[in-house]
Amino acid sequence: MWYLIIGSDVPNSLQARRAARPEHLARLQVLLDEQRLLVAGPMPALDTEDPGEAGFVGSAIIAQFEDFASARSWAEADPYVTAGVYQQVDVLPFKPVLFRSHE
């Protein structure tokens, strides 16, 4: 099943986000290599690709897991959680219906 994971950043977490980013991306790369990642990315605090020091308000990930408990466990172990970047992580079942391929 697919799950939407939304991590909401604490205010002023840009430095912690930058420090934890390599580990965060490494975990996502594993999902991508296993063909279990549909999309992942940050949500800028400003309406621009590079928000600069304004940073981000969170991240969204759509990935495939065996069940809700597995998705929740994976999300709670994210380096952004352990580094204090995320103040909240929501995990919701997701059913992809329409999407544009980047191929």
What is the residue whose two structure tokens read 């002023």?
12
Q: Which of 58, 56, 59, 70 is nearest to 3 (CA)?
A: 70
* The two structure tokens encoding residue 47: 């309406």
**pLDDT given at position 100:** 80
**pLDDT given at position 103:** 61
State the pTM of this model: 0.93
- What contacts 13, CB < 8 A, 6 or more positions away? 55, 84, 85
Whole-number average pLDDT of the chain: 96
pLDDT exceeds 80 at position 102: no
Neighbouring-strand partners of residue 72: none
* The two structure tokens encoding residue 40: 């992942």
